[in-house]
Structure 1
Amino acid sequence: MHSFDNIKNQRILLSFLNWGKGHLSRCIDVCRKLERQGNTLLIACEEEDFAVLSSYVTPLKYLPFPGYPFTFQGTGDFAGDLWKSRKLLSDFMKWEQTEVEQLITQHQVTLVISDHRYGFFSQTVPSVFITHQVNLAIKWWQQPAQWLHRKWMKRFSSIWIMDEEKHPLAGKLSRKGNLKNAAYIGHFSRFEKKETKKTIKLGVCNGPDPYNRQLLERLMGNKELDAIISSIPGNDPRIVHPATWKETDELFCSAKTIHSYCGYSTLMDLKQLGCKGELIPTPGQTEQEYLYRLHTSFDFSESIR
């Protein structure tokens, strides 16, 4: 099994899930730490995401690679939307695995790292799967999804659980149980710890489309917010349309309260920033509904370490 801290002097091919921007956000810190350990990083993703990543971490090599073909109707029926797309997603993952093998040959890759992309693995070099969900937050009648999740994770040499065993943010979702090739790697956030005075109430429009648009409407209705970060146009003078993510980092660091969906990457950011969250689950997303119930108060103004 590959330990995160022992990954050194490797040529690493890395990609991340395109379900919102949370996986991209947490991979900034993953890449930053791997680069500091002397590794060469080749990032397979879409151009827009690479522009974000490369503004925080250099040097990186860009390999154009499409995201998963997700289509969400915005009705809160995530399971139904995924079921309708099952053939398209299955075909994509088969193509993805073949493409990974070609990239390995072309670029002399020695290690593959996938942040929750099931088809992004190799049969010729070691492959690592990053997740905070060893156990999916699903209904009893959705247990076949958990079986399939475990089956797909077994394709990988190692599983890195993005959580802490003694102080888990993900609760039962990150319990590794009898997985022998799994290890906890801690929490990751793009933000650096700073001694900054926290003065503003910040809205953050996150989540996959069209749920981010639904959230923006809700945030604009909150008159207490001082600023709203969104890539979506809106007729509210408080909306900030950043050209780069880095432009908004000072806003995050100055926030005493962040209002957004309660994605797992958001929880890790709150912990790193040491602030409070007024968070809601994305409608119908069972993982976030579980995290919402688990953390009755999203108060990270005092460290939980």
Structure 2
Amino acid sequence: MTSSENTNKTILIAPLNWGLGHATRCIPVIKALQENNYIPIIASDGIALALLKKEFPYIKTLKLPSYQIEYAKNGKNFKWKLIKNSPKMIRAIWEEKRLIKKWVKKHAIDGIISDNRLGVFSKKVPSVFVTHQLNVMTGNTTWITSKLHQNIIKKYTECWVPDVATLPNLTGELGHLKKDSLNLKYIGPLSRMHKKETPKQYDLMIILSGPEPQRGLLEDKLKTEVVHYTGKVVFIKGIIQKEQTKEQIGNVTYYNFMNTRQLEQTFNESETVLCRSGYTTIMDLAKLEKKAFFIPTPGQYEQEYLAIKLANEGLVPYATQEEFKMEDVSKINTYKGLLAIDNTIVWSDLLKVFE
């Protein structure tokens, strides 16, 4: 089939609304669909949907039910908060399944790409699951959450892992199984960023993301800590609003959010980065070959695992949210920083699953 014959093929792409990572890593996938003559329809909820509407104002969007993911104020209660919220999440997944059944018919959908949305699947059309978590870290319950997740992945036509199969890789145990019966494709890191040689404008870029209340708690902490930093700082709060706001306080320039183009520019103009150790951020930093400092979200085992892994490899230092002090940032210089993983995604081959 030539790509011009794909013209009428409609692909539903549905990222999970958990922070902004799932939505932002779907941006290169959506662009690849367009470039290969597929018609994407975006489905999500909350800030993930708001962000993608800003990036792709002309693409049709559909609203999925919210998983209502909230973080505990205290990281130690993270797992219990998730368990307490699980009935809401299960209801949302059932509702997703019902909607997908209806939409496949109504919108003549020819294929599905679900980024960690567990109910976005159809037996009627090829369905792809995108995840970097083949193992789901939950402390002493990791074995059961991983098994459950792998059973869900098994239903899909293919599972795309945004990492490489070999060493060195970015996900470690998260994205690699000792033995598997899943239809896995390691597609390489997914990033919407491009490295550019630009004059440096900022000594430090602070970028926040993730669900409340933890995003807000870290913002409050860093606002008080950043006054002890002498260099030039750009501080992106990660709050998606209708209008962009900019505020200058001393040596710090605050933004509520930035679009992809501005973010890419700002990353390239910044010497170092302070952020969460979310996997999408790690992929972006690797693509840009950045030196960074991580503050994992309290109680989120996956972010803690990634921060420890990358620190042990001598790439990026980290501190807990509770213990972080602004002077810790100086440790960045004793670490190598993230390096690009050489990998080009051949989208025309990957998208053959929908032919």
TM-score under structure 2 normalisation?
0.77
For residue 254 of structure 1, report the CA deviation from its aligned partner.
0.9
3-state SS of 2:26 partner: helix
For residue 101 of structure 1, report the CA deviation from its aligned partner.
1.1
3-state SS of 2:129 partner: strand
Distance across 2 between alignment mates of 1:212 and 1:106:
38
Distance across 2 between alignment mates of 1:106 and 1:215:
43
Query: Between Structure 1 and Structure 2, whose CA radius of gyration is higher?
Result: 2
> Does the CA-based 8 Å contact 2:16-2:44 persist in structure 1?
no
Task: Specify the alignment match of 1:230 in structure 2.
Answer: 237
Task: Specify the alignment match of 1:182 in structure 2.
Answer: 184
Distance across 2 between alignment mates of 1:47 and 1:90:
18
CA change 1:302–1:155 in 2 (3 A) is closer
For residue 302 of structure 1, report the CA deviation from its aligned partner.
4.6
Distance across 2 between alignment mates of 1:180 and 1:231:
35
3-state SS of 1:85 partner: helix
For residue 38 of structure 1, report the CA deviation from its aligned partner.
1.5
Q: Which amino acid aligns with 2:153?
A: M
Distance across 2 between alignment mates of 1:303 and 1:46:
31
Distance across 2 between alignment mates of 1:227 and 1:142:
37
Distance across 1 between alignment mates of 2:198 and 2:338:
12
Task: Specify the alignment match of 1:158 in structure 2.
Answer: 158
Distance across 2 between alignment mates of 1:244 and 1:56:
7
> Does the CA-based 8 Å contact 2:208-2:237 persist in structure 1?
yes
Task: Specify the alignment match of 1:67 in structure 2.
Answer: 66
For residue 32 of structure 1, report the CA deviation from its aligned partner.
1.3
CA change 1:303–1:48 in 2 (3 A) is closer
For residue 57 of structure 1, report the CA deviation from its aligned partner.
4.6
String of CA shifts for 1:193-240, please: whole Å, max 9, x gaps.
322234421111212111101211232213336111014599972321
Q: Which moved more, 1:221-230 or 1:252-261?
A: 221-230
CA change 1:124–1:302 in 2 (3 A) is closer
Are positions 1:212 and 2:218 aligned together? no
String of CA shifts for 1:144-196, please: whole Å, max 9, x gaps.
21221112212212111111112320011111432341110111112123222
1:25-104 equivalence runs, <5 A? 25-46=24-45, 49-57=48-56, 59-76=58-75, 77-104=77-104
Distance across 2 between alignment mates of 1:78 and 1:151:
24
3-state SS of 1:257 partner: strand
Distance across 2 between alignment mates of 1:94 and 1:50:
20
String of CA shifts for 1:27-64, please: whole Å, max 9, x gaps.
11111122212111011123754453254457522123
Q: Which amino acid aligns with 1:197?
A: P
Which residue of the other structure, out of 247, 255, 266, is the alignment partner of 1:251? 266
For residue 262 of structure 1, report the CA deviation from its aligned partner.
0.5
CA change 1:8–1:182 in 2 (3 A) is farther
Task: Specify the alignment match of 2:288 in structure 1.
Answer: 273
Q: Which amino acid aligns with 1:107?
A: H
Are positions 1:196 and 2:230 aligned together? no
Task: Specify the alignment match of 2:328 in structure 1.
Answer: none
3-state SS of 1:113 partner: strand
> Does the CA-based 8 Å contact 2:274-2:294 persist in structure 1?
yes
Q: Which amino acid aligns with 1:275?
A: K
> Does the CA-based 8 Å contact 1:190-1:269 persist in structure 2?
yes
Distance across 1 between alignment mates of 2:207 and 2:108:
40
Q: Which moved more, 1:72-81 or 1:94-103?
A: 72-81
- Identity value in percent: 30
Q: Which amino acid aligns with 1:33?
A: A
Distance across 1 between alignment mates of 2:271 and 2:119:
39
Q: Which amino acid aligns with 1:303?
A: A
Question: For this pair of structures, how many residues does the alignment match?
Answer: 300
Which residue of the other structure, out of 274, 287, 290, is the alignment partner of 2:305? 290
CA change 1:48–1:302 in 2 (3 A) is closer
Are positions 1:117 and 2:117 aligned together? yes
CA change 1:300–1:11 in 2 (3 A) is farther
